[in-house]
Structure 1
Amino acid sequence: MNKCGFWGIAALICVFQIFTSIAHAEQGWPRTVQGANGSITLDHAPQRIVSTSVTLTGSLLAIDAPVIASGATAPNSRLADDQGFFRQWSDVAKKQHLQRLYIGEPNAEAVAAQAPDLIIVSATGNDSAIKLAEQFSAIAPTLVVNYDDKSWQDVVTLLGQASGHEAQAAQRIKAFDDREAALKKAITLPPQPVSAMVWNGGGRAVNLWTTASAQGKLLEQLGFTLATPPATVEQGHSMGQRKDIIQLSGENVASGLNGKTFLLFAADDKTTQSVLGNPFLAQNAAVQNKQVYELGVDSFRLDYYSASNLLARLEKLFVKS
Structure 2
Amino acid sequence: MKKGGLWGRVLLLCLLISGTAQASSAWPRTVAGAGGDVTLSQPPQRIVSTSVTLTGSLLAIDAPVIASGATAPNSRLADAQGFFRQWGDIARQRHVKRLYIGEPGAEAIAAEAPDLILVSATGNDSALKLASQLSAIAPTLVVNYDDKSWQEVVTLLGRVTGHEAQAARRISEFNAREAALKQAITLPPQPVSALVWNGEGRAVNVWTGESAQGRLLEQLGFTLALPPADAQQGHSMGQRKDIIQLSGENLASDLTGHTFLLFAGDDNTARSVLNNPFFAQHAAVTGRQVWALGTDTFRLDYYSASNLLTRLEKLFVKPL
Class of the TM-score when normalised by the shorter of the 2 chains: 0.7 to 0.9
The match for 1:57 is 55
Q: 2:234 corresponds to which letter in structure 1?
A: Q
Give distance in 1, aligned partners of 2:129 and 2:282. Answer: 42
1:111/1:247 CA distance change after superposition, 3 Å: farther
1:73/1:253 CA distance change after superposition, 3 Å: farther
Per the normalisation by structure 2, the TM-score is 0.87
Conserved 8 A contact 2:297-2:308: yes
Conserved 8 A contact 2:273-2:279: yes
Deviation at 1:73, TM superposition (A): 1.0
The match for 1:119 is 117
Aligned with 1:267: secondary structure? Answer: coil
1:241/1:138 CA distance change after superposition, 3 Å: farther
Give distance in 1, aligned partners of 2:284 and 2:125. Answer: 33
Write out per-residue CA displacement over residues 90-144 of structure 1, whole angstroms, 9 at most, x where no aligned residue. 1110111001111112222222222211111222222222222222222222222
Give distance in 1, aligned partners of 2:242 and 2:185. Answer: 25
Conserved 8 A contact 2:194-2:261: yes
Conserved 8 A contact 1:68-1:99: yes
Deviation at 1:236, TM superposition (A): 5.3
Give distance in 2, aligned partners of 1:98 and 1:215. Answer: 28
Deviation at 1:252, TM superposition (A): 5.5
Conserved 8 A contact 1:133-1:142: yes
Aligned with 2:87: secondary structure? Answer: helix
- Runs (5+) with no aligned partner, structure 2: 1-23
Deviation at 1:210, TM superposition (A): 2.2
Pairing partner for 1:171 from 160, 169, 172: 169
Deviates more, 1:81-90 or 1:247-256: 247-256
Give distance in 2, aligned partners of 1:104 and 1:171. Answer: 32
- Runs (5+) with no aligned partner, structure 1: 1-25
Conserved 8 A contact 1:148-1:244: no
> Aligned ranges for residues 134-283 of structure 1 at < 5 Å?
134-202=132-200, 204-233=202-231, 234-235=233-234, 237=236, 241-251=239-249, 253-283=251-281
Pairing partner for 2:293 from 287, 292, 295: 295
Deviation at 1:172, TM superposition (A): 0.9
Give distance in 2, aligned partners of 1:175 and 1:112. Answer: 36
Q: 2:169 corresponds to which letter in structure 1?
A: Q
Conserved 8 A contact 2:235-2:243: no
Conserved 8 A contact 1:63-1:156: yes
Deviates more, 1:102-111 or 1:76-85: 102-111
Write out per-residue CA displacement over residues 149-181 of structure 1, whole angstroms, 9 at most, x where no aligned residue. 222111111110111100011111111111111
Conserved 8 A contact 2:122-2:146: yes
The CA RMSD measured in Å over matched residues stands at: 1.8
Q: 2:236 corresponds to which letter in structure 1?
A: H
Aligned with 1:200: secondary structure? Answer: coil
Give distance in 2, aligned partners of 1:175 and 1:163. Answer: 20
Conserved 8 A contact 1:74-1:103: yes
Deviation at 1:63, TM superposition (A): 0.5
Conserved 8 A contact 2:29-2:39: yes
The match for 1:27 is 25
Aligned with 1:71: secondary structure? Answer: strand
Deviation at 1:317, TM superposition (A): 0.6
Aligned with 1:105: secondary structure? Answer: coil
Give distance in 1, aligned partners of 2:105 and 2:240. Answer: 24
Pairing partner for 1:86 from 77, 81, 84: 84
Deviation at 1:305, TM superposition (A): 1.3
Q: 2:301 corresponds to which letter in structure 1?
A: D
Conserved 8 A contact 1:205-1:248: yes
Deviation at 1:247, TM superposition (A): 2.4
The structure with the larger Rg is 1
The match for 1:14 is none
1:101/1:188 CA distance change after superposition, 3 Å: same
1:52/1:274 CA distance change after superposition, 3 Å: same
Between the two proteins, the alignment pairs up a number of residues equal to 295
Larger RCO (CA within 8 A; separation ≥ 6)? 2
Pairing partner for 1:309 from 298, 307, 310: 307
1:203/1:273 CA distance change after superposition, 3 Å: farther
1:163/1:105 CA distance change after superposition, 3 Å: same
Aligned with 2:67: secondary structure? Answer: strand
